[in-house]
Amino acid sequence: MNKLFVLNHKMNLLSDEIDNYINILNIYGKNKKIIIAPSNIYLKTFVEKSCFDICTQNGYYKDSGAYTGEVSFKQLKSLGINYAIIGHSERRKNFKETDEIINMKIKSCISNRIIPILCVGETYEERNNREMYLKVAEQLTKDLEGNSPQKIIIAYEPIWSIGTGITPKPEEITAMINYINEILKSIPQIDYNILYGGSVDDNNISDILNIDHVDGVLIGGASLNIDKLKIILNN
């Protein structure tokens, strides 16, 4: 299978940087499976000009109504958005998103035919206490409860690895991905892929993509650096 590259821009890039970014990535055309998650304000430009699937970094679970400042998955779908990052640790931590909220967001994605990219992962302390499997199992169970996604992407993102330059050992990634596989296999008729995310860059990309059962990567910081990104996408 072609490896999947999800590019999470977070809250970065200015309006006059967008066209250049889109043009450079478009060179990779259909040879690469790339999903780009820019800031909401650029989604329409990306949908119109990029040749890749575009992903929202967030959305609200109600379809419409008096929710000032929010954007619904229904609205995002009407713009041509087919993917959504859900449950990223930065949203869980900084915006107090609970598993209950994440569960409702996933339900809304599914009902609006948006494929969720659900992020799960443990803190440094949880890994030290050997609680990482418990944590990930709890997140998956609560976030997916009552949901019957036909298609979902899970991103295993250890929180201690995001933006730190530190990555788990390959065998630690494999062990967690095998564990996630076991949990997902028990859900009938689900089609899923599992990504690794956390400090993926031009130096470690080939090692990470060679890890057993890693279907692709979720890249934050390095997705903003065109030189690094070119090296990454050549893998």
Q: Give the active site residues.
A: 88, 157
- Counting contacts by CB under 6 A, is residue 38 touching ligand PGA? no
Shortest distance in whole angstroms from residue 132 CB to ligand PGA: 17
Give the span between the Cα atoms of 187 and 227, in whole angstroms.
40
Q: For every residue of the chain, which 3-state class applies, written as one string?
A: CCCEEEEECCCCCCHHHHHHHHHHHHCCHHHCEEEEECCHHHHHHHHHHCCCEEEECCCECCCCCCCCCCCEHHHHHHHCCCEEEECCHHHHHHCCCCHHHHHHHHHHHHHCCCEEEEEECCCHHHHHCCCHHHHHHHHHHHHHCCCCCCEEEEEECCHHHCCCCCCCCHHHHHHHHHHHHHHHHCCCCCEEEEEEECCCCCCCHHHHHCCCCCCEEEECHHHHCHHHHHHHHCC
Which residue is at the shortest CB distance from ligand PGA? 220
Span 51-80, contacts to ligand PGA by CB under 6 A: none
Sign of the Cα torsion 91, 93, 94, 99 reads: positive
- Counting contacts by CB under 6 A, is residue 200 touching ligand PGA? yes
- Counting contacts by CB under 6 A, is residue 216 touching ligand PGA? no
- Counting contacts by CB under 6 A, is residue 202 touching ligand PGA? no
- Counting contacts by CB under 6 A, is residue 173 touching ligand PGA? no
**List 15, 26, 163, 225, residue binding ligand PGA (CB under 6 A):** 163
- Counting contacts by CB under 6 A, is residue 162 touching ligand PGA? yes
Quick one: 5 or 74, whose CB is closer to ligand PGA?
A: 5
- Among the listed ranges 19-27, 156-164, 176-184, 204-212, the one in contact with ligand PGA (CB under 6 A) is 156-164
Quick one: 149 or 220, whose CB is closer to ligand PGA?
A: 220
- Residue 225: alpha-carbon gap to chain centroid: 18
Shortest distance in whole angstroms from residue 181 CB to ligand PGA: 20
**List 149, 158, 168, 220, residue binding ligand PGA (CB under 6 A):** 220
Quick one: 74 or 122, whose CB is closer to ligand PGA?
A: 122
Size of the site for ligand PGA (CB under 6 A): 13
Residue ranges that bind ligand PGA, judged by CB under 6 A = 8, 157, 162-163, 197-200, 218-222
